[in-house]
Structure 1
Amino acid sequence: MSRPAHVSSGTYAPPVPRRVLTAVSADGSRLHVEVHGVERAPAVVLAHGWTCSTAFWAAQLRDLSVDHRVIAYDQRGHGRSPASPACTTDGLADDLDAVLRATLVPGEKAVIVGHSMGGMTVMAAAARPGFREHAAAVLLCSTGSSRLVAESLVIPIRPGRLRTWLTRRLIGSRAPLGPVTPLARRILKYATMGPGSAPDMVEACARVVHACPRRVRHAWSHVLGLLDLDHGVRELTVPTEVVVGSADRLTPPVQARALVAALPNCVGLTELSGVGHMTPVEAPELVTGKIRTLVTAHVMGARTKEGA
């Protein structure tokens, strides 16, 4: 296992995109999409998790945009994407498909990265023709395909019906998060980050999560509570790598190991010692390095073979 190096707070300020556009999903939902980096460079598509936004990927956007074309979008209802009455995994898959169509030319390949609910988006879309047309490889960070509530470790008691009930109530809470206070930072750090997370990492995540509207957070909690995308994992046939933190309470390592066992083409599992659920923020250099490696092997490598 490896431990990430500390990165200065400036890394967590999201860069200004080169281009902003709106993708329209199958049901008419409008999605805020950002394109960063170098035109015609190898493409990377980033799908964030529950209660987050494109700002969550600040470290990856800043690093990869030097020599990649990086596409990030706000999931429906999150960030600058308007709320939609349809909160379903099919809707998430439709949204990713719309983003791929709006930003990639026919046949263009990309590495697709999903964190938490973004990983679930990838699983939901895995059998879609558009996904298969454009996905060269996938990185799944801190995610799972089913039994999220039953296997969550946020409530520190033994597994069973009581823990499942309490976890469901906590995740589905309608309570407003309010301003980012010292107490709010401590709660968020306990639930979503490793014990050694630096204050600037916690602050960055807190500002992103607290910006999510309460009704959006509540609506998507029901989808996560009933999630069953095991079939989607089996459809994810492109080379797929998995990253998880050993201190992840929301999607603990047991979830990652189940993915690895079910994936048809898993190319690696990395468990990060002491890291929590927010791996792209807590371990930015490692996550970015994994993305670069997948691009080199499966996007640039494919281009080299085509040109040979």
Structure 2
Amino acid sequence: MSQPYEAVPARRELTAVSADGTRIHVEEYGPADGPTVILSHGWTCSTLFWAPVVRLLADDHRVVAYDQRGHGRSAAPVDPRGYGTRVLADDLQAVLEAVVPKGERAVLAGHSMGGMTIMAASGRRAVRERTAAVLLASTGSSRLLRSTEVLPPRVSSRWLRRFFHRQLLISRMPLGRVTPLSKAALKYGVLNPDATPEQVDFTARIVHACRARHRSAWGQVLAVLDLDAELAEVTAPTAILVGTADKLTPRVHARGMAAALPRPAGLTELPGLGHMTPIEDPPAVERVIRELVAAHLTAGLSEEATGGPVRAASVHAPTTAAEETNA
């Protein structure tokens, strides 16, 4: 596997404890005194998903990625009520409080369900106070089943298309080991037709690692998603990014969100790319994040609504060895 699609060793690992006690695995990369970027991954993924982007940012940014509950090394909720947009917001708030000191800010970037997480947390004071700018990549705020195009739009029955897409989300069927068939299905569903074998292998490795019951539980949340009201409360400057061939969250969502945001910071449409934009074109995602950092974090020393200067979040800790800390 080529280097961009290998895991990046974390400088530091820690655990953030969410409101209901769920333990969230967090990893930090790059210099401790760099401007902070928080990365929130999507459905069926993990911190590994962000490796191609982390590798590009970590030379001069403090990059923080975490596993959503029930994904990667984060704990799964023991209560069925532990799945939903409210607890996603709880988890993000816990991570921010653990890694961004009060009075400092970071750029938040969320892909797919990670973007939905940021939307869900948008109205919380502890989140707003720590957010300089936002990137919502390959995501949507509501009505996902109406627009999903895994089953082609030429299928005339709207009911059939919604039924198929709902079953795709909520299925508890184990994926088993990675096979040529499963890779072909993932390439068709979430990548672009020209995705490289390395990109397909990397995607399959990540998605197959997600346990079926957690995949299904979160799929049920996505099937009824409605975050339009929360989107309107994302008051930080917010950039939108989408692949024009995204079948899971087509660009109709991106355009709608860009029109509804209080402080839009640009819409980037990547020609021919699918849903996994940080894997398919890491430099494009890196570029938007760097632009947000430059415009709203490192250069954001002007007085804000809080009455004080915006400071880039940093933790002045040794960078030579990973450490385990309970937050």
Say yes or no: does 1:57 pair with 2:57: no
Pick 1 or 2: higher relative contact order, CA cutoff 8 A, min separation 6. Answer: 2
Say yes or no: does 1:16 pair with 2:9: yes
**Structure 2-normalised TM-score?**
0.90
Aligned length: 300
Distance (Å, rounded) in 2 between the aligned partners of 1:172 and 1:132 = 32
Which segment drifts farther, 297-306 or 257-266?
Answer: 297-306
Superposed displacement of residue 32, structure 1: 0.2
Partner residue of 1:245? 243
Q: Higher helix share goes to which structure?
A: 1
Point out 4+ residue stretches in structure 1 off by more than 6 angstroms: none
* CA deviation vs aligned residue, 1:122-156 (integer Å, no higher than 9, x gap): 00000001111110000010000001111100112
Gaps of 5+ in 2: 304-308, 311-327
Say yes or no: does 1:138 pair with 2:138: no
In percent, how many aligned pairs have the same letter? 54
Distance (Å, rounded) in 1 between the aligned partners of 2:157 and 2:130 = 40
Distance (Å, rounded) in 2 between the aligned partners of 1:120 and 1:253 = 15
Does structure 1 retain, via aligned residues, the 8 Å contact 2:169–2:222?
no
Distance (Å, rounded) in 1 between the aligned partners of 2:35 and 2:146 = 39
Partner residue of 2:325? none
Does structure 1 retain, via aligned residues, the 8 Å contact 2:110–2:117?
yes
Does structure 2 retain, via aligned residues, the 8 Å contact 1:246–1:271?
yes
**Equivalent position SS for 1:79:** coil
Distance (Å, rounded) in 1 between the aligned partners of 2:302 and 2:177 = 50
* CA deviation vs aligned residue, 1:205-244 (integer Å, no higher than 9, x gap): 1100100000100000100000000011100011100000
**Equivalent position SS for 1:97:** helix
Question: What does 1:101-180 correspond to in 2, within 5 Å?
Answer: 101-156=97-152, 157-158=155-156, 160-180=158-178
Partner residue of 1:41? 34
Does structure 1 retain, via aligned residues, the 8 Å contact 2:47–2:66?
yes
Gaps of 5+ in 1: 1-7
Superposed displacement of residue 158, structure 1: 3.5
Partner residue of 2:96? 100
Partner residue of 2:315? none
**Structure 1-normalised TM-score?**
0.95
Say yes or no: does 1:210 pair with 2:204: no
Partner residue of 1:184? 182
Question: Cα–Cα, structure 1 residues 246 and 228, in superposed 2: closer, same or farther, change >3 Å?
Answer: same
Decide which of 286, 289, 295 is 2:287's aligned counterpart.
Answer: 289
